[in-house]
Chain A
């Protein structure tokens, strides 16, 4: 599984990292660390990745299975 954080949509809610810290991290400015490029989800963390993606009020995280 991989994910893509939409640069235009990520506005620093930080809920992805709050709900799924094992998958998502924030940079110093409060935005998702992986904004703008495809990032891998460690095998076994797919459920957490979904939980974190669904926590984004702006649906900025797209998952690719």
Chain B
């Protein structure tokens, strides 16, 4: 990305330790920033990729998801195991557990943390590589694994658990797998994949105890290992009182700007989307992957012009031997329509708005439907007339 004028900054601080933070460092160097880059990461690991945590790492096909980028070689000063605890935009200071760091430019990329249910029993979450290693070691034949949540993470964990020969129960509050994201009609199509799993829908959890999971009807579901995958919350606690606008994420514009000299990118951001006319809180890999180039450009640009970050949201999940892909974003009133292909390989749903414009596609084992949807969603006024 070539900028006419690159603002000269002495030090840019990147708070975060995941893909968004790593890519931000790379983008800053690529775009000509030759001052300091300081990476402040809470975890004691070099930045790593997260999708393998619920996929390859649980199946044993991936043992190290560290991102293959030489940050030290790029001249990034790396502080691992250093959680940020506060921000003072007036003084341009980030406070960490190890002291204060001043900045000229700031990238906030602290991601999101999983929601934890109440209870004193052991409750595994799946956010860090350490979490994945612990969970992988529990997936042994015959182990009683209880997974709370039948959405994407839940489905992928269940897949690994049944492959490992565990006895798996999955507790889902909604009417079916991924129903909260995709709706009941789509969930119904996922259901056959779950045969062989004790899947209990419409089941609300009260708390996690030592012996297992206590349901709201006071039944106890015994478990050797409980894992919760019911959603994440943006990691913005450290920004309380900073003056930044926080609303289920750091609120940023379409160029990922939160305030002068401050950008936010990835899971932590609530970004304005001109395309969807609302703030989006995307917790998918793609935002962390391609957002940083725009975040860096916004920090380094002189003046008020620069690239906008407003991609069509994309997501995928590998579960039960199937590839699920999800492109776009349905409006709250849009209804999914089922598409059964003539060649009988896979199936899809398409969502349309009131003007019959395509707004989202969910494709199972059919990348061609995603490719077709991209062409329609990319055009200015896509119209797809249902036949």
CB within 8 Å of B: which residues of A? 11-15, 17-19, 26, 28-31, 47, 51, 54-55, 57, 59
Contact = CB atoms under 8 A, between A and B. Distances in A.
Contacts of B368: 12, 28-30
B286 A30 contact: no
A18 B311 CA distance: 9
Given A29-B367, A30-B371, 5 more contacts: A14-B374, A17-B374, A18-B374, A30-B366, A47-B1
Q: Which of B2, B314, B366, B371 has the most CB of A within 10 A?
A: B371
A-side interface mostly: loop
A13 B316 CA distance: 8
Contact of B371 (A11, A26, A51, A54): A26
Given A54-B23, A57-B316, A12 B367 contact: yes
B312 interface: yes
Contacts, number: 59
Given A15-B314, A47-B1, A55 B289 contact: yes
Nearest to B323: A11
Q: Which of A55, A57, A59 has the most CB of B within 10 A?
A: A57
Contact of A12 (B68, B286, B370): B370
A16 B286 CA distance: 11
B51 interface: yes
B95 interface: no
Contacts of A59: 68
Interface in B369-385: 369-371, 374, 378
23 contacts: A11-B323, A11-B367, A12-B325, A12-B367, A12-B371, A13-B314, A13-B325, A13-B367, A15-B289, A17-B374, A18-B312, A18-B378, A19-B290, A19-B311, A26-B371, A28-B368, A28-B371, A29-B367, A30-B368, A54-B289, A57-B285, A57-B286, A57-B316
